[in-house]
Structure 1
Amino acid sequence: MVSPASATVAAPRSDPQAPDAHLIWQRVLSRLQLNTGEAHFDTYLRGTRGLAYDAGASVIRVMVANPFHVPWLEGKLSSAIHAAVAEIVGGPVRVEFCPAVAGTVQPDGQPRRQRPAPLLAELEVSRAAIDVDVGGGGGRPRHDIFSAVVQHPRSAPPAGAGSPLNVRYTFDSFVMGQSNRLAHAASLAVVDHPGNAYNPLFLYGGVGLGKTHLLHAIGHAVADTGEDVIYVSSETFTNELIESIRQHRTDDFRLKFRNARVLLIDDVQFIAGKERTEEEFFHTFNAIHESGGQIVLSSDRPPRAMTILEDRLRSRFEWGLIADIQPPDYETRIAILRSKLTSQVVGAVPSDVIDFIAEKVQSNIRELEGSLNRLLAHARHMQQPVTVGLAAKVLHDLVAPGPSGRGATPGAILVAVARYYGVKVDDLKARARHKQIVEPRQMSMYLLREDGHLSTPDVGRLLNRDHTTVLHGMKQVANDIARDGPSRAAIRGIREIVAGGAVELPAPRDDP
């Protein structure tokens, strides 16, 4: 479990020995860079700076740009850090990590960019808000958690007004855990070597797990280097194509997208089945790839599961790296919740409340943020302390069902499978045996047995298949899961659709 960030946080202070501390810490970082993984170093260590070194007390204070990183530096990386410091200064030294404060200036004189607090910045908070109990017994300390919230003004649009990149979605505000480690590391590599590392980079995962956040973070980081970046959703890509056709300006459309140095397409699965859009994107993909540009795509499913997508596009999506983003584990969920609070609020909100939310809300990050946001807003308006009891009361209708899908009806499962793979429910029951239908049908067999609790003969009758065919289909899916294949992500996505309430599929839209 991630420890509270307030464990050893000390207020940074000026010190005449700061330049010495800076020099010592730079040497420590040089040593750590050789002995620490690149992803860990870039995420947790690169932005740190030595503030003060007291040789008599054997203490060095180090500034950390992101308060959330403090527990990780004091936990997983503590041994390596203390060993490196001791080697540099010639003896054991205690390292104290301090979160950066507004206006902190780096050694080069440039102000350090502060990490935004997107969750609480939008709360219209009054300084006269409630006091919240955080201890037990008489004389308990009371804190006004809302007066501690840092209010961040909306950032002005960057150069090139109208940029669709969200200023809150940066690498600094992205919480890395075991579930998204590969996607995060690959995104950083793309920023360092656009067009060379993992091209295309294909990120996929369920709803609200951070795919869009990483796309925006890549866009911000690449734009900072002066490169041209285009970020659009697949819907925007399609709509702009339709508009260019209507206005007889397809050449302008192609010039815009095919000359991009870095092209970021969100929710690319929605272009599947739109023949004209697929055709245009195919040539756009080739033009950018052949010119050495970088392509980053996100989707709720891997390319293999996009059964109605043209084979030539699907094969290109698989050229580079396919990175799966899974739901965050318990420790990462706690870290995400703490990252949404300022260091002052983290100390004011009881740890058991954070633990309760992380335990009960497991589906995705958006629900985690929404749950915390709702709880704090309720506490403010109702003038009540933030407690586990209040959290249970306020969030009773937000607690998502477990991922097992138990209790799902056969009809809901079939509709969810059809929606996920982009096919019709009737196709799952028909006699067709082509690949685009066989895989969804086998997935239906597996889930009808596992989540719908139907017997094998009942599954066969529902899908118009015999007992042997059902057993074979279930075995195919089970074997793919054991190999950690695409079926694992497909099952997660289908269960999310079922949990959210599957409905009948909409009628297909005409392609431009």
Structure 2
Amino acid sequence: MTEDQEALDLAADWADISQGLRKDLGHQLHSQWIKPIQLGSFCKDTGTLNLFLPTEFSANWVADRFADRLSLAWKIARSEVRQVRIGVHPGRRQLPEVSLGGPDSFGRGAANDGAAESFGAMGTGTIGDAGFTASVGLDPSLTFAAFVTGTTNVLAFNAAERMAKVEQPQFSPLYLKAATGQGKTHLMHAIGHAYLAAHPRARIFYCSAERFMVEFVSALRQNEMIEFKARLRGFDLLLVDDIQFIIGKASAQEELLYTIDALLAEGKRLVFAADRAPQALDGVEQRLLSRLSMGLVADIQPADIELRRAILESKLTKFAPLEVPADVIEFLARTINRNVRELVGGLNKLIAYAQLTGQEVSLQLAEEQLTDILSANRKRITIDEIQRTVCQFYRVDRSEMSSKRRARAVVRPRQVAMYLAKVLTPRSYPEIGRKFGGRDHSTVIHAVRLIEDLRKRDADMDGDVRSLLRQLES
């Protein structure tokens, strides 16, 4: 086969793989991280395929999150690919890293985040066929001390702590159920760290279900299943993340089932995590479902406003002496509510931009630089809905929102409604002014600043606004 033909075949395989990832990941993630990947050289002797991205940051990001998935896809597409290496495109200038106070820069490994997934013991973007190793491969920043608790995650936190203690837990396995970015991966790493501290000679293995599949397929192809089983069952603590990705793989499910039985029989500890409850895992054999749910299923609910505030406050200590105003923290906590990963990522992005440009962190800067994150999280609240809710709350007629009356009894509710319109909608000051009787944008700016100031000085006003925010966001 000529080099040109080989390149065409690789390109055709990549087109199929990329299309499949687009369906799995969605358009936004695919466009941002997968689409920029360029095919590099393929070495037939070593079975190594190089994939390149334009910057070191994007290469690290893709390696951290998609290396397992890319490796498995390529191995399925063509058996001669034994490992996938992700790096920066040759000849591209590698951008200097921006330090934001440790491993959680740009959202990697952030507290309660779950974004930093290591590949077992490797910790790089290379996936090989060497099998499991004795190294732990845990992110040092993801500990119990760095995990911020609230009413929505305290059960899972306490269960995770119990799983890591010296004494045998009353339940095993522990199954952590949470939506993306709510902290289940953080808790798994924390369990590993605490268990290793209590059992220094313990053998621990953390992997994603996709990593498990990669190792399983590799052992199957190389006739090394006996060694694979021996290594897997030799661990004292087994942590398997994103178990939903093992759906439909009958042979891998069977091996996992036997591994669970063997480890439980020897008193070993197992922790699984997924984005859904065991009973909601379609395509999973009933016997495996029974094993996954036989211990404790701990649900992590989406972080509420209090927990989101606490998480942001916990991050601020890493950015000292840089100051982040309280209104910015409140704005981020209220607006970025889908998951903690986006919340911390938004804060990191905002601070990185401020540091690199020399600007002060402000509410205006947050609105300008976090447009994509904010628009994805905002509930579609209209100015009409805000006006209606405010009028009901203050018991004034709806027509007063557009009237020229300047009586205090109607001016203050009107100003509150303008403030809420700016906080809860993407509308500009002139657009808001037009919805309030054609008022000038300077009137809206004055109203927003006035209510912001009153909230700091007047507990009653702050209470009114909080109550209205709860009504509108519920």
State the Cα distance separating 1:268 from its structure 2 match. 0.8
Change (3 A) 1:405 1:257: farther
Does residue 258 (structure 1) correspond to residue 262 (structure 2)? The answer is no
Counting only pairs closer than 5 Å after superposition, residues 405-484 of structure 1 correspond to structure 2 as none
Counting only pairs closer than 5 Å after superposition, residues 46-61 of structure 1 correspond to structure 2 as none
State the Cα distance separating 1:405 from its structure 2 match. 9.2
Aligned to 2:223, the other structure's residue is in SS state coil
Change (3 A) 1:359 1:122: closer
State the Cα distance separating 1:352 from its structure 2 match. 0.9
Which residue is equivalent to 2:447? none
Contact 1:117 1:341 in 2 (8 A): no
Which residue is equivalent to 1:243? 218
Change (3 A) 1:185 1:336: same
Aligned to 1:398, the other structure's residue is in SS state helix
Which residue is equivalent to 1:171? 144
Which residue is equivalent to 2:188? 215
Greater mean deviation of Cα atoms: 234-243 or 220-229? 220-229
What residue identity is the alignment partner of 2:349? R
Change (3 A) 1:384 1:298: same
Which residue is equivalent to 1:349? 324
State the Cα distance separating 1:215 from its structure 2 match. 0.4
Whose helix fraction is larger, Structure 1's or Structure 2's? 2
Change (3 A) 1:119 1:261: closer
Aligned to 1:175, the other structure's residue is in SS state coil
Contact 1:120 1:341 in 2 (8 A): no
Does residue 281 (structure 1) correspond to residue 266 (structure 2)? The answer is no
Change (3 A) 1:347 1:374: closer
State the Cα distance separating 1:161 from its structure 2 match. 7.7
Deviations 1:329-362 (A, max 9, x none): 1111111112122277387211111111111100
What residue identity is the alignment partner of 1:383? G
Which residue is equivalent to 2:304? 329
Query: Matches of 1:268 and 1:403 in 2, distance apart?
Result: 30
State the Cα distance separating 1:245 from its structure 2 match. 1.3
Counting only pairs closer than 5 Å after superposition, residues 25-424 of structure 1 correspond to structure 2 as 117-120=102-105, 162-193=135-166, 195-224=168-197, 225-226=199-200, 227-342=202-317, 345=320, 348-401=323-376
Change (3 A) 1:402 1:389: closer
Query: Matches of 2:289 and 2:208 in 1, distance apart?
Result: 18
Change (3 A) 1:382 1:305: same
Change (3 A) 1:195 1:311: farther
Aligned to 2:254, the other structure's residue is in SS state helix
State the Cα distance separating 1:377 from its structure 2 match. 1.6
Contact 2:350 2:369 in 1 (8 A): yes
State the Cα distance separating 1:247 from its structure 2 match. 1.5
Query: Matches of 2:321 and 2:305 in 1, distance apart?
Result: 18
State the Cα distance separating 1:238 from its structure 2 match. 1.1
TM-score under structure 2 length normalisation: 0.51
Q: How many matched pairs? A: 258
Query: Matches of 1:379 and 1:210 in 2, distance apart?
Result: 27
What residue identity is the alignment partner of 2:177? Y
Aligned-pair RMSD on alpha carbons? 2.7
Aligned to 2:374, the other structure's residue is in SS state coil
Identity of aligned pairs, percent? 39
Aligned to 2:272, the other structure's residue is in SS state strand
State the Cα distance separating 1:322 from its structure 2 match. 0.3
Contact 1:265 1:297 in 2 (8 A): yes
TM-score under structure 1 length normalisation: 0.47
State the Cα distance separating 1:382 from its structure 2 match. 2.6
Change (3 A) 1:255 1:354: same
Structure with the larger RCO, 1 or 2 (CA within 8 Å, 6+ apart): 1
Q: Which consecutive residues of structure 1, in runs of 5 or more, have no partner in the other structure?
A: 1-115, 124-156, 407-512
Query: Matches of 1:350 and 1:404 in 2, distance apart?
Result: 24
Change (3 A) 1:404 1:395: closer
Query: Matches of 1:207 and 1:331 in 2, distance apart?
Result: 19
State the Cα distance separating 1:168 from its structure 2 match. 1.0
Query: Matches of 1:212 and 1:243 in 2, distance apart?
Result: 25
State the Cα distance separating 1:395 from its structure 2 match. 1.1
State the Cα distance separating 1:381 from its structure 2 match. 2.5
Query: Matches of 1:212 and 1:292 in 2, distance apart?
Result: 23
Deviations 1:286-324 (A, max 9, x none): 000111111100000000101211000101111111011
Deviations 1:69-98 (A, max 9, x none): xxxxxxxxxxxxxxxxxxxxxxxxxxxxxx
What residue identity is the alignment partner of 1:255? A
Query: Matches of 2:203 and 2:225 in 1, distance apart?
Result: 21
Change (3 A) 1:179 1:162: same
State the Cα distance separating 1:119 from its structure 2 match. 3.4
State the Cα distance separating 1:259 from its structure 2 match. 2.0
Contact 2:173 2:270 in 1 (8 A): yes
What residue identity is the alignment partner of 2:158? A
What residue identity is the alignment partner of 1:189? R
Greater mean deviation of Cα atoms: 189-198 or 221-230? 189-198
Deviations 1:232-286 (A, max 9, x none): 1111111111111112111111111112111110011111210110010010000
What residue identity is the alignment partner of 2:174? L
Query: Matches of 1:209 and 1:373 in 2, distance apart?
Result: 17
Deviations 1:163-214 (A, max 9, x none): 3211111111111111110000000001115653320100011101111100
